[in-house]
Chain A
Amino acid sequence: MSPAASELASQAQASPTYREFGATVPTLDAERAVISVPRESVRLRGVRDSINGGVVATLACAASRLLLQARLGDEGRAGPATEIDIAYLSAARGSVTTFEARILRQGGRVAVCEVEVRDTDDGTLNAKARVSLDILR
């Protein structure tokens, strides 16, 4: 991880949302952002004691925002998510769940990311999301 990406990851990990879930950022570069969340730190549970679907959607948005900010650097600010489309494929019940975001398209004002949510124990795909975000200049 570059020094700039490392600093960005540290800032993210200090935010209320990341702290809420004990989320860490093992990978952050211009191509992808990965957020890692231990299930035991998530109080909001869903079906079969999995991570709640709203939490999964939020962390997909957060991974997308982090990636976009890493790409923008000082040239802009990753704004709020404006749209999410997420398919829940299996309950997120792994001991650790990862949210891996990649850019599909980055324009001047809007970016679109794709996020895969996986159980790190066995690689099961828990959800797949497409997230649109504003770019603030």
Chain B
Amino acid sequence: MPVQPLAEWRQRWENEGAKHLGVRPVEVAEGYARFSIDLPYGDERDGDLDFLNLALSYAVDVAALASVIARVDPEREQPNGTASLHLNFLEAPSGPVSVEGRVVYWQVPGALIEVVATGVDGALIARGVSPYSLRAKTPEGAAS
């Protein structure tokens, strides 16, 4: 399916909650999405392990979902929801983080998304996979 124009796509993923986490949409292609996390915050959030986990987990979630939306054929399929997530947190980020979601398998009713978070120097921050549930549409357009 055609991917949304970049400016439109970015606008879709921008909101106050994401901004507070420093999570920004960066780029999109078919079956692929990349977000960034602007770290450090320069305030008390930097010392809160749960908050860093929050920024990473949220960015991973939206990168996975955005990669699915950038792959789905709206005539034949529709997203149903994230089925599960397996994520390894490998390094604590010390600066900006890039989070990529990439569709690595696609077959209704299930897709598999690979998510990778890296630091500015390319250090692996987190890596995981997320199975995603899809629904087929009938010829009339309703999801089966």
Question: CB-nearest residue of chain A relative to B85?
Answer: A86
Write the nearest CB–CB distance from A34 to chain B, whole angstroms.
Answer: 16
With A and B bound together, what is the CA distance between A53 and B101 in angstroms? Answer: 15
Q: Do A83 and B54 touch (CB < 8 A)?
A: no
Type the 1/0 row for B1-35, where 1 means its CB is closer than 8 Å to any CB of A. Answer: 00000000000000111101100000000000000
Q: Which residues of B contact A83 (CB under 8 A)?
A: 86-89
Write the nearest CB–CB distance from A35 to chain B, whole angstroms.
Answer: 10
Of B15, B16, B50, B59, the contact of A54 (CB 8 Å cutoff): B59
With A and B bound together, what is the CA distance between A65 and B53 in angstroms? Answer: 12
Known A65-B49, A87-B83, A91-B81; contact A17-B54, beta-carbon cutoff 8 A: yes
Of A46, A61, A62, the contact of B61 (CB 8 Å cutoff): A46
Of B45, B82, B83, B88, the contact of A16 (CB 8 Å cutoff): B45
Q: Do A53 and B89 touch (CB < 8 A)?
A: no
Residue with the greatest number of chain B CB neighbours at <10 A, chosen from A43, A44, A85, A88: A44
Does B60 touch A at the CB level, under 8 Å? Answer: yes
Type the 1/0 row for A47-70, where 1 means its CB is closer than 8 Å to any CB of B. Answer: 100001111011001100100000
Type the 1/0 row for B44-67, where 1 means its CB is closer than 8 Å to any CB of A. Answer: 110011111110011111100000
Interface of B is mostly: helix
Q: Which residues of B contact A47 (CB under 8 A)?
A: 81-82
Does A73 touch B at the CB level, under 8 Å? Answer: no
Write the nearest CB–CB distance from B89 to chain A, whole angstroms.
Answer: 5
With A and B bound together, what is the CA distance between A16 and B49 in angstroms? Answer: 10
Q: Do B50 and A62 touch (CB < 8 A)?
A: yes
Of A20, A58, A65, A84, the contact of B86 (CB 8 Å cutoff): A84
Residue with the greatest number of chain B CB neighbours at <10 A, chosen from A55, A58, A62: A58
Number of interface residues of B (CB under 8 A): 32
Q: Which residues of B contact A17 (CB under 8 A)?
A: 48, 50-51, 54
Q: Do B48 and A16 touch (CB < 8 A)?
A: yes
Of A43, A57, A79, A82, the contact of B57 (CB 8 Å cutoff): A57
Does A135 touch B at the CB level, under 8 Å? Answer: no
Does B84 touch A at the CB level, under 8 Å? Answer: yes
Does A76 touch B at the CB level, under 8 Å? Answer: no
Type the 1/0 row for A6-40, where 1 means its CB is closer than 8 Å to any CB of B. Answer: 00000000011110100000000000000000000
Does A103 touch B at the CB level, under 8 Å? Answer: no
Interface residues of B (CB under 8 A from A): 15-18, 20-21, 44-45, 48-54, 57-62, 81-90, 92
Q: List 8 A-B contacts (CB under 8 A).
A: A16-B50, A17-B50, A17-B54, A44-B17, A57-B85, A80-B92, A83-B88, A85-B84
